[in-house]
């Protein structure tokens, strides 16, 4: 059996553990593929999820019991492994229901399940739960399986070259949170994952640089996703293509290789197609556009 590309070690932070590379891991390499210890159907449509605060509060107050029901359906060894994921946010003596819900809240990865009901589902992995956060990650969780028998199975891919003995890190927050200033990112992470982020991008020596870079990325993002002009309009698209290429470069260098990168490539392709239409129209004597104009 091949040696794993990582090991789980105590790194001395809240919760204690992290995932560290055993050897150099190249960008794009598969680090881990794992079936979850627990999968929970929240019974909330994905479009209504909004971070899940209502769901977790209802679960803690026992107004709903979806986490408890999901745990009861698991074998004993899965339940024990799941409860070993408890970290320092739950005080000793807290009742088991609240402890279980807190474990799900701080460790689960949510995904939409269009093959069943378009609800938000939650998957809690064993080794996946040991992967810590960074606002400048070097890996991403992708390809959550939405069908049995591997429902909730996740894959971890390197999005940058990772040196041996370096910690493997992912971005917990999604949907543009990484583009926000440090204080906003920290507030969101504190609210949903209950920790104060001290990653390199949030460190006082680097935050000004990263905030400026991400502010620029946010401007680029707004520009390239602005509504495309109608084909008959004369419009210079070269600066949008350039903006899309810069945005993609920032995503790749920052380790953000998930759906944002895919969406950016799709928009870049749309811009190139639009440019080709304008060029063809111009060559035919129609209302085209000089793609190279500034």
Q: Are 136 and 200 in contact (CB under 8 A)?
A: yes
Pairing of strands 6-10, 17-21: antiparallel
5-9, 105-109, 282-286: which range is least confident on average?
A: 282-286
Pairing of strands 139-142, 154-158: antiparallel
Residues 23 and 128 in one domain: yes
Per-residue three-class SS string for 15-37: CCEEEEECCCECCCCEEEEECCC
Supply 29's token pair. Answer: 């390499």
Residues 189 and 51 in one domain: yes
Pairing of strands 38-45, 119-124: antiparallel
pLDDT surpassing 90 at residue 58? yes
1 Cβ neighbours under 8 A, 6+ residues apart: none
Residues 168 and 188 in one domain: yes
Q: Are 17 and 102 in contact (CB under 8 A)?
A: no
Residues 37 and 52 in one domain: yes
Residues 127 and 221 in one domain: no
In a domain, 60, yes or no: yes
Residues 146 and 225 in one domain: no
- Looking at 176, 202, 228, which one is the last position of a domain? 202
Q: Residues 224-251: pLDDT tens digits?
A: 877 765 554 545 677 788 888 888 888 7
Q: How many domains does the chain have?
A: 2
Residues 17 and 151 in one domain: yes
Helix (H, G, I), strand (E, B) or coil at 42: strand
Residue ranges making up the domain that contains 180: 6-202
Q: Residues 138-164: pLDDT tens digits?
A: 888 876 888 888 888 999 999 889 999
Residues 121 and 161 in one domain: yes
Q: Closest Cα to residue 293, out of 272, 275, 273?
A: 275
pLDDT surpassing 70 at residue 85? yes
């Amino acid at each position: 059996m091949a040696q794993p590309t990582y090991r789980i070690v105590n790194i001395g932070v809240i919760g204690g553990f992290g995932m560290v590379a055993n050897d150099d891991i190249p960008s794009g390499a598969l680090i881990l593929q794992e079936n979850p210890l627990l999968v929970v159907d929240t019974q909330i449509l994905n479009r209504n999820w909004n971070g899940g605060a209502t769901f977790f509060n209802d679960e803690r107050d026992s107004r709903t019991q979806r986490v408890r029901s999901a745990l009861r359906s698991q074998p004993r060894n899965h339940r024990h492994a799941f409860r070993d994921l408890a970290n320092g946010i739950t005080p000793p003596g807290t009742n088991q229901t609240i402890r279980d819900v807190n474990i799900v809240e701080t460790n689960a990865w949510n995904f939409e399940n269009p093959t069943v009901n378009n609800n938000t589902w939650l998957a809690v992995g064993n080794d996946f739960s040991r992967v810590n956060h960074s606002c400048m990650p070097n890996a991403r969780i992708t390809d959550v399986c939405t069908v049995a028998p591997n429902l909730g199975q996740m894959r971890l891919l390197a999005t940058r070259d990772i040196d041996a003995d370096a910690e493997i890190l992912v971005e917990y927050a999604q949907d543009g949170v990484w583009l926000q200033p440090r204080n906003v990112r920290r507030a969101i992470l504190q609210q949903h994952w209950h920790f104060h982020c001290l990653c390199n991008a949030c460190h006082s020596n680097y935050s000004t640089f990263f905030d400026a870079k991400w502010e620029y990325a946010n401007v680029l993002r707004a520009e390239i996703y602005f509504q495309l002009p109608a084909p008959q309009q004369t419009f210079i698209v070269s600066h949008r293509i350039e903006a899309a290429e810069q945005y993609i470069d920032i995503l790749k260098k920052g380790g953000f290789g998930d759906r944002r990168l895919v969406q950016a490539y799709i928009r870049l392709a749309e811009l190139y197609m639009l440019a080709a239409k304008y060029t063809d129209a111009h060559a035919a004597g129609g209302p085209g556009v000089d793609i190279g104009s500034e």
